[in-house]
Structure 1
Amino acid sequence: MENNNRVTGFRFHYDDLLRFSGYTSVLDKDGQDTLWLSVYYSEFEHAEIEANLNKIYTLLHSDGDEDVLPFLTVDSIHYCTFGNSKPFRIRVRNILNDNYTNFYIKKADASRLYGLELEDILSFNRINFLIYEDTLIEEHILGIPGDIFIKEHLENCSDQEKSQIAKEFVKFNERCMLGLLGDMRSYNYVIIPTHDFDQVVYRIRAIDFDQQSYEGQLKIYLPQYFKENQKMVELVNEKLKPSSVEQYRKEVRSAIAKRALASQLRLQQLLDIMKNDRISTVDYITQLKTALQKLTYNTQFLKCESMGEILETGLRFVVRNYQHTNIRR
């Protein structure tokens, strides 16, 4: 992490934000509880915390440039009571133009850090985060939460857009399995619409990485098996032929192989650390490597003794197949 400028020396902990003196519930536009709390602090605590959060904003977005500090103010601090990470969502506003930016402060854990690094290396998405001891500072990922998109927007999409979303879900499903990123229920990823000439192009991007290389069940790494994604699975079955599904899966494997080869040293350094870390339990490791061996017929999985080795074996399998295909051509 230090080699990639992820570690900061700025002294601020997640636990510092837990000193709030009160809170109110945050409601959505329909008046429903979002399970986020808007927290507030005593006058003395607020001044100190706001100054620290503004400084963190500059570290995350402008390498600590302090010239902008007089123009920053913290609009809100929200605390999430849902899930296992209990994040704080910070909204910082520039008072000169009223533009605002969100970022998150969470407890750092190994799975989440590995997931963020792998996302940055192997996906087409770049991600910005910082670490101080056991505190993780993570940029906000723009997009429409998957559960909200499925509920409020999917039905209004054109047939062409639905076909494009189905393709993206197939690719997302494949990326999660190859990268061993688990628990991608609809509220753990976002749908990103982008206007391109006369059409809207959709992308799917993970936003929660706390189930990176942990679970033993292979299905946990395949978003298609979560009931929250049932509408997306139905869309794939309706809009895509089996041959198209296999084509898109191959495209993902090819793209990941290219990124793995392009970032070979950085990826190997991360994998070496993961191999020596006890990310998961022995039972989960045995369960997952056995399932992957049955799926791929690759007996190398059975020799793995850690989640890092399982991930490395899978990526090497993808890279070798990519290289072998290119040699034949």
Structure 2
Amino acid sequence: MSNVFGHIISSGEAEKPSKKKPIFPVNDQLRKYLLHYSREVKLPVSYRDLQRYTYSVPLKDRQGKETSWEKVSYDMREWEYLRENLVRIYAILKTEGDMSFIKHLDVARIDFCYFGNSQPFRIRIVNKFNDNYDHYYIKQADASRVYGLELEHLLSPNRMTYFTDRDTLIEEHIPGIPGDIFIADHLHSSNTNLIRLAKEFVKFNERCFVQLLGDMRSYNFVVNIIPDIEDFQYRIRAIDFDQQSYEGRKNLYLPQFFKENKALVDIVLQHLNTASIAQYQAEERTMMTYRLVSSRYRVKELLDIMSKDTISTKEKLEQLKLELAQHFNASASFSKARTMGQLVKRQLKQTLQNNLLLIPKSKSRFDD
């Protein structure tokens, strides 16, 4: 596989995704998949219930700056209903629905984000005993996001906790420092190990490209700082999945091409040479291959459903087919794809095929 860091935004090139992506419904086949793997559950509150707020006020951060979030308020009867049942949803996320732990929990606040495609509600749950708090999100169920969450769960080093109920999706909060805040406040700290951070960005870039997860601008991922022997390790985690294989431009699936990530790209170019970049890419593809093989039946089931679904436009599909074929110099591998799902399957084969060859055939079989 070619080294995708060979052409980078240092030349001034930058990418911009579509301003508005439609919500794609969860079809019957995907619903059966979610039921089979215990992702589809009965929820006491729906996304539409949360839309019945009476007014909202802008939410400011600790520095007093306005954010993309608004604090929403409800009439008293609606609020009492939501308080009780949103705590129950938290128990579904955290304790498999065991309600014996919810008496000391309450809803501290409900926020609404007007920015972005999903327009999520963020629920703050507080422990009444010690004031510790946690969050989770309620969004519109979008097939693109479901496919993205599942592929992330199966192929990345991260486990994803989410559930659906018809047109509603709930997601566990993914902890970490938002990428844009990390770049502004932590990147140039004396404690930041820039070489290890550069290594992780290369791996994150590779994961997104292999999975065709798009729009990983800095505010769509978080950075985890993990203490290690005498130093720190880093993990970059995607937190927004609605751009799973939707866009037509190949570069929109490579975080290195977004201007918002340029500071991280500069770190890579400053601290890593071509051989090191290729090594870290190979390491990530190897780990993704192991995960693919260990979950091959579930991945195949998901991709078979995805291959028959409509999650993009014909124009974007044709553009991405052409650009991937040119990137890999392998037009035959992509030309037969008729949907974005089929294209994701061919992308996995194209990027991981050399690693699959090193695994015994009985374990690595991954058919079209």
Residue in structure 1 matched with residue 109 of structure 2 by the alignment: 76
1:325 Cα deviation from its structure 2 partner: 4.4
Does 2:101 match 1:91?
no
Which of 71, 78, 89 matches 1:45? 78
Structure 1: gaps spanning 5 or more residues: none
Q: Distance in 2 between matches of 1:87 and 1:49?
A: 16
Residue in structure 2 matched with residue 252 of structure 1 by the alignment: 284
Which of 275, 278, 296 matches 1:243? 275
Count how many residue pairs are aligned between Structure 1 and Structure 2: 326
1:65 Cα deviation from its structure 2 partner: 1.1
Does 2:336 match 1:303?
yes
The answer on whether the counterparts of 2:45 and 2:82 sit within 8 Å (CA) in structure 1 is: no
1:263 Cα deviation from its structure 2 partner: 0.2
Q: Distance in 1 between matches of 2:259 and 2:242?
A: 20
The answer on whether the counterparts of 1:14 and 1:107 sit within 8 Å (CA) in structure 2 is: yes
1:153 is matched by which residue type in structure 2?
H
SS in structure 2 of the partner of residue 267 of structure 1? helix
1:191 is matched by which residue type in structure 2?
V
Which of 122, 133, 137 matches 1:100? 133
Residue in structure 2 matched with residue 4 of structure 1 by the alignment: 37
2:318 is matched by which residue type in structure 1?
T
Residues 4 and 326 of structure 1: CA distance in aligned 2, closer, same or farther (over 3 Å): closer
Residue in structure 1 matched with residue 227 of structure 2 by the alignment: 195
Residue in structure 1 matched with residue 5 of structure 2 by the alignment: none
Residue in structure 2 matched with residue 213 of structure 1 by the alignment: 245
Compare relative contact order (CA 8 Å, sep 6+) and give the higher one, 1 or 2: 2
Q: Distance in 2 between matches of 1:192 and 1:324?
A: 33
SS in structure 2 of the partner of residue 137 of structure 1? strand
| TM-score, scaled to structure 2 | 0.86
Structure 2: gaps spanning 5 or more residues: 1-33, 361-368
| TM-score, scaled to structure 1 | 0.96
Residues 157 and 167 of structure 1: CA distance in aligned 2, closer, same or farther (over 3 Å): farther
Does 2:171 match 1:138?
yes
RMSD, matched Cα: 1.3
Alignment of 1:55-66 (within 5 A): 55-66=88-99
1:241 Cα deviation from its structure 2 partner: 0.5
Residue in structure 2 matched with residue 175 of structure 1 by the alignment: 207
1:84 Cα deviation from its structure 2 partner: 1.6
1:4 Cα deviation from its structure 2 partner: 1.3
Does 2:296 match 1:267?
no
Percent of aligned pairs with the same residue? 45
1:124 is matched by which residue type in structure 2?
P
Which of 69, 72, 88 matches 1:36? 69
1:278 is matched by which residue type in structure 2?
T
Residue in structure 1 matched with residue 46 of structure 2 by the alignment: 13
Q: Distance in 2 between matches of 1:257 and 1:319?
A: 6
Q: Distance in 2 between matches of 1:170 and 1:318?
A: 15
1:326 Cα deviation from its structure 2 partner: 5.6
1:321 Cα deviation from its structure 2 partner: 0.8
Which of 143, 164, 167 matches 1:110? 143
1:101 Cα deviation from its structure 2 partner: 1.5
Residue in structure 2 matched with residue 26 of structure 1 by the alignment: 59
The answer on whether the counterparts of 1:75 and 1:91 sit within 8 Å (CA) in structure 2 is: yes
